[in-house]
Structure 1
Amino acid sequence: MRTRFAPSPTGPLHLGHAYSAILAHDMARAAGGTFLLRMENTDLERCKPEWEALIVEDLAWLGLTWDGDILRQSDRIGSYNARLEPLAEQGVLYPCSCTRGDIRAALSAPQEGVPHAVYPGTCRGRPMESRRPGDALRLDLQRALDALRGHDLSFSETGPAHPGRHRVDREAALRTIGDVVLSRKGEDIVAYFLASAFDDADQAISHVIRGEDLFDFTPIQVILQHLFGLPTPVYHHHRLIRDETGKRLAKRDDARAIRRFREDGASPADIRRMVGLP
């Protein structure tokens, strides 16, 4: 087993992050496997070195150890964009000049309770030669799925909510995913799910352990894996840690930040107990 914890250094770790990191770490160690730490910091405006330093400090305080050096996506943005060239040659990419706000939202990791807006195809059909500075690159999902006819677009899930083998439904993907943004020219930013797919392959990740709010986003990663000839790991989407109202914890919940618990005298064992881990 090779797995990873991949936070975005845009704020402090909270109890939900701690649960995900501890679970991935413990599963890897129990299997005699490898646990890696990756910083998903492609958003250079929001990701800060001080947040990364605090994340590393919190994880070490929790008693977690990782193998090898920390991988930082910000060091690899150029390689992500270069690896898009084969898709352009296959005719499954097109430039998009829609608003920056819309495109930036599309590049972010999905959030529970925030619906994914399916792109209406305004720029679909534009040739790559028409790309201008500031344009994004979108995946023409229908063409991509046509190119993958005959591929086994499926993945194995071991999480408690959706165990078993899941096949990507073509019509559902067109209806609910649509033509996603993969990168934006001139700003050196790439989509969360694209960078993650490349990194999982490059780091030989065998098991992706993450929150169940990302389960519905897995099909687009499977599609990209097949387009680029990458392996598909096993997925394990775990339960989310929620507040007393049932809402998923977010980085704005600073009162539940690991830093706060440390300052209040909690121990790593207390944190494990709070998230329901031995």
Structure 2
Amino acid sequence: MKNKRLLSDIIYYVFVIAFGFIMIYPILWMFASSLKPAQEIFNNALSLIPSVFVWENYPTGWQGFGRTGFDIFFKNSAIVTSLVVIGAICSSSIVAYGFARLNFKFKGLLFACLMGTIMLPMQITLIPQYVLFHNIGWVNTFYPLIVPAFLGGTPFFVFLLIQFIRGIPRELDEAAIVDGCSTFGVFWRIILPLLKPALVTVALFAFMWTWDDFLAPLIYLNNANLHTVTLGLRNFMDADGNTNWGPLLAMSSLSLMPQFILFAFFQKYLVEGIATTGLK
């Protein structure tokens, strides 16, 4: 029995390691290719070890194109992403608290409408939103990317937080009310501190979705000095096929570093927030 169990464990771990390597291979290839000479990137595509380490790809790529370097793109992405994360946390937590704890007219109907918006593709609302933002003069600014995060919350985040709040005993709310807390006081002093794992999950998802977003910046941002990292990478490519792939892959590698760092520091809270959502 011990030999069979050992054999099954070995087979299992070999399969998991092999499958994991296949999944992570494109990222490893990108990092390795960012240090390869230009002629070696596609001629020796399967290799993960450069014959010569070309560190110049990083400073060359950082200079960007024209008069706009990637320092501008990273700064723009950091501004937009940070504000969107703050907006998603604030608005989604307040809306979720209202649906999870408060009783008001048309609560069921409004919650059904909120859940229905999850199934709507972004492309359906893209044209009406663009017309609205164009009429109020927000096109070619960061406002269309940031302000919606502060208005009403993101439906997916609201649903996730509602499920988490429902797992918090109502007796805590009642005890706080007996001690003199208002409705907002219960949210601020009791619910919000207990939402920490779920809020970290919301922050990480909001960060990843906003940092990687390509369509919204492409639609609303026309000035190169306002472009985010995703637009900077796209504009780095030459339409005639003469793309300098080494610097492009170097900047692509750098663009992934913020997400890797955040996940490494907050993966504990991410797993906890997802695993405990909806548990009583």
Structure (1/2) with the larger helix percentage = 2
TM-score (norm 2): 0.23
User: TM (normalized to structure 1)?
Assistant: 0.23
Highest relative contact order (Cα 8 Å, sep 6+), 1 or 2? 2
Of Structure 1 and Structure 2, the greater strand share is in 1
Q: Which has the larger radius of gyration?
A: 2
